[in-house]
């Protein structure tokens, strides 16, 4: 019985020591014991300290030219071509990811929707649908295809591939109608 009491007492002492040290009581007591340094004039720093000097920022070079209307078209067309090639090679994951990522990035930029990095694909889709109600059906179709391929570990049927491509085309048209507004 006495051994159990002794073990409990030692455990409590260790627990309290750790708790007090973590809260800084041991460090404060240690610093109070050390002799204080000689008082320095207000303008001087102790030895070993350096003044922080501001670093001048380099000027940002101007951008070459504002993006033209042809650039988004080429991005959509390149994504569509890459997706079609991936479908031909049987890589549904790459094809759907290309279509989904291009559509989400372009539509969120056009609608000024901020998408956080931690958002799931469904959450990204919902955020864009809230800002652009006209893309609801097409974006839902593309999101469903994305989830089926990536989380269902299944390949798409030819009908599902065609539906994803049609949804992408529909979103492409919505993207350009949004940019003109």
Determine, yes or no, domain membership for 165. Answer: yes
Residues 79 and 132 in one domain: yes
Q: Whose CA is closest to 119, among 133, 92, 94, 101?
A: 101
Query: Residue 127 sits in a domain of what CATH number?
Result: 1.20.120
Residues 16 and 84 in one domain: no
Determine, yes or no, domain membership for 95. Answer: yes
Query: Residue 7 is part of which domain span?
Result: 2-33
Helix spans in 89-135 (H): 92-111, 121-131
Angle between helices 92-111 and 121-131 (to 10 degrees): 40
Angle between helices 92-111 and 136-151 (to 10 degrees): 140
* Residue 32: per-residue pLDDT: 53
Q: Which of 21-30, 80-89, 92-101 has the lowest mean pLDDT?
A: 21-30
* Residue 21: per-residue pLDDT: 74
Token reading at 124 = 């990204």
| Burial zone of 65 (CB within 10 Å; 0-12 exposed, 13-18 middle, 19+ buried) | exposed
Residues 15 and 83 in one domain: no
Determine, yes or no, domain membership for 42. Answer: no
Helix spans in 23-91 (H): 25-33, 70-88
Mean model confidence pLDDT for the chain: 77
pLDDT tens for each residue of 33-80: 555 555 555 556 666 666 656 656 556 555 544 444 444 556 888 888
Determine, yes or no, domain membership for 176. Answer: yes
Backbone dihedral angles phi then psi of residue 54, each to the nearest 5 degrees: -70, 140
Determine, yes or no, domain membership for 100. Answer: yes
pLDDT tens for each residue of 94-137: 999 999 998 888 888 888 888 888 888 888 888 888 888 888 89
Report the C-alpha gap between 71 and 152 in whole angstroms.
34
Terminal Cα distance for the chain, rounded: 83
**Is residue 29 pLDDT above 80, yes or no?**
no
Determine, yes or no, domain membership for 25. Answer: yes
Q: How many domains does the chain have?
A: 2
Residues 22 and 91 in one domain: no
Q: pTM, whole model, 2 decimals?
A: 0.57
Residues 23 and 75 in one domain: no
Residues 85 and 144 in one domain: yes
Determine, yes or no, domain membership for 60. Answer: no
How many Cβ atoms from other residues are within 10 Å of residue 178's Cβ?
Answer: 18
Is the Cβ–Cβ distance between 141 and 163 less than 8 Å?
Answer: yes
* Residue 40: per-residue pLDDT: 54
Residue the block writes with tokens 């974006």:
139
* Residue 69: per-residue pLDDT: 43
Q: Whose CA is closest to 165, among 147, 149, 141?
A: 141
């Amino acid at each position: 019985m006495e051994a159990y009491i002794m073990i409990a007492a030692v455990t409590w002492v260790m627990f309290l020591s750790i708790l007090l040290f973590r809260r800084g009581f041991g460090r404060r007591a240690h610093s109070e014991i050390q002799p204080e340094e000689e008082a320095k004039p207000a303008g001087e720093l102790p030895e070993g300290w350096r003044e922080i000097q501001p670093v001048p920022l380099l000027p940002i070079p101007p951008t070459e030219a504002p993006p033209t209307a042809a650039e988004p078209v080429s991005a959509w067309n390149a994504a569509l071509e890459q997706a079609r090639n991936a479908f031909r090679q049987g890589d549904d994951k790459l094809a759907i990811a290309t279509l989904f990522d291009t559509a989400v990035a372009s539509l969120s930029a056009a609608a000024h929707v901020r998408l956080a990095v931690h958002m799931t694909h469904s959450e990204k889709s919902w955020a864009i649908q809230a800002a652009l109600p006209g893309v609801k059906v097409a974006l839902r179709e593309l999101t469903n295809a994305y989830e089926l391929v990536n989380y269902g570990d299944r390949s798409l049927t030819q009908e599902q591939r065609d539906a994803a491509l049609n949804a992408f085309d529909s979103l492409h048209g919505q993207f350009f109608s949004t940019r003109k507004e």
